[in-house]
Amino acid sequence: MKSNILALLSAVSSASAVVLPARATYAVVGKPEGFASGTTGGGSAACAVPSSISQLTTWLADSTARCIVLDKEFNYIGSEGSVTETGCRPASNKCPGNGGQDAINHADWCTNGNAGAGVTSISVTYDKAGVSGLTVNSNKSIIGAGSAGVLRGKGLRIANGAKNVIIQNIHITQLNPQYIWGGDALTVDGSDLVWIDHVKVSLIGRQMFVAGNSASNRVTISNSEFDGSTSWSATCDGHHYWAIYLTGSSDLITLKGNYIHHTSGRSPKIGGNSLVHAVNNYWYANSGHAFDNGAGGQVVAEGNVFQNVVTPLLENLGQFFGSPDSNTNTACKTYLGHNCVLNSFGSSGTLGGTDTSFFSNFNGKSIASAATASSSIASSAGVGKL
C-alpha cells in the first residue's frame, strides 16, 4: 500500500496536470433547463486540474472533449503585461477620481461619438490580459471545486462555431474594472448549446455577459450572481452599468434563477431579434434600469422579483410580455406549457408589457419551468451553492 501511494505521489508531481481519481466528487451538477437543454459539455471525459494558466489556456482552446476543474485561483493579471495609451474621460464620468469610470478607446469608442459630448482625452494604463477573453472550444465542462474556482483578470469567450459548453460554479473577477472596455467576463458569439450555471461575476470593466452579433442558437444562464458593486461606476453611484447585453442575431436566451444586484442599467439590454425567457430571477438595488428592450427584442418576463429597482423596463421598442395579470397570463399556456407567473415588486417601478403576438416563436423549443416569485434566489445563486 505504501509503495502504491508513493508511486501515485511521484506520478502526480511529475505530471503536467492532476487527473482526479474520484470523478463523482468533481462533476457537473444537474442539467440545464430552457433553451440550452441537452448541453453535455465534456460529457464522460475524466476531470482534471490544469497545472498553470498556460495549460488552462491550452485546454480550453483545444479540440479535445474535457472536464476542466478549477480548484484554486487562476490569476491572469500581469501575464500579458500592461498597456499605456490614450483613452478618454467620457461625459458619463461626472465624478472623476471619486468613483467614476474612464474608458479605453476600443473600436474608437472615445472618438466616434459614443463617449458623449465634452469627452476629454486622458492617459489610461490597463492590464492587457483582461481585454480579451480565453478561447473556449466545443465540448468543454469548466467547473469549480467548492467555492475555490476563481478566474481572475480574464474572461471566457465561446465563439466562431464552438458549441456544447458548460461553465459551472466559478467566479470571474477583476477585468480592469476602472475602465469601460476593460474586459467582458462571458462572451458568446456564433455558438450553440451553452449552459452557464452557478457562476459569479464581479468587478468587470464592460459586460458581465455579452451575446455577440452572430447567432448564438441556444443559451441558458441559471442560478448565477451578477454582482455590480464597484468602486468605478459609469453612473457614479457604486453600481455597474454594463451588465448583460443580449443583442445577438436571433439568439435564444433563458435567464432563470439569477441574482442580479447593484447594477444601474443594461440588466439586460436586448435586441437583434433575440428571444428571451426571463423567469424566477431576482433584481435587487438597481439604481437605473433592468430591462431595456430594443428593436427586435422578444421577451417573456415571469415569476421575477424586482426589489429597489428604479425602472424595471426602460423602454420597449420590441415585443415584451411582463405577466401583467392572472387572466392575461393564461395566454402563455399554449406555447410555454404553463400559465405565466406574476412578477413581484417592492419599492420599484412597474414592468408592463402585454404583447403576446410573438409567443409562437417558443413553439417546439425547450422551455424552463416557472415557480412563484421569491427573493430566496439570493441565497442559492452563485459560487459554492450547488
Cβ-proximal residues to 318 (8 Å cutoff; 6+ apart), any chain = 270, 271, 293, 294, 295, 296, 297, 298, 299
- Those residues whose C-beta lies under 8 Å from the C-beta of residue 376, and which sit 6 or more positions away, are none
DSSP of 275-299: EEEEES-EEEEEEEEEEEE-TT-EE
Catalytic residues: 266
- For β-strands 244-246 and 209-211, DSSP reports them as parallel
Query: Which cell is 75 given?
Result: 490569476
Please count the helices (runs of H) and the strands (runs of E) in the chain. Answer: 3, 30
* 252: nearest Cα among 103, 366, 129: 366
Decide if 378 contacts 385 (C-beta within 8 A). no
Q: Which residue has the cell 449552459?
A: 195
Nearest to 368 by CA among 221, 260, 261, 198: 221
Q: For the beta carbon of residue 152, count every other beta carbon within 10 angstroms.
A: 18
Query: Cα–Cα–Cα angle for 367, 372, 378, nearest 5°?
Result: 95
Q: Backbone phi, then psi, for 149, in 5-degree steps?
A: -80, 105
Asked if the peptide bond before residue 50 counts as cis, ω within 30 degrees of 0, the response is no
| Cβ atoms of 287 and 309 closer than 8 Å | no
Give per-residue burial for 297-334: e unless 16+ CB within 10 Å, then b: bbbbbbbbbbbebbbbbbebebbbbbbbeeeebebbee
CB 329 within 8 A of CB 351: no
The Cα–Cα gap between 314 and 310 comes to 10
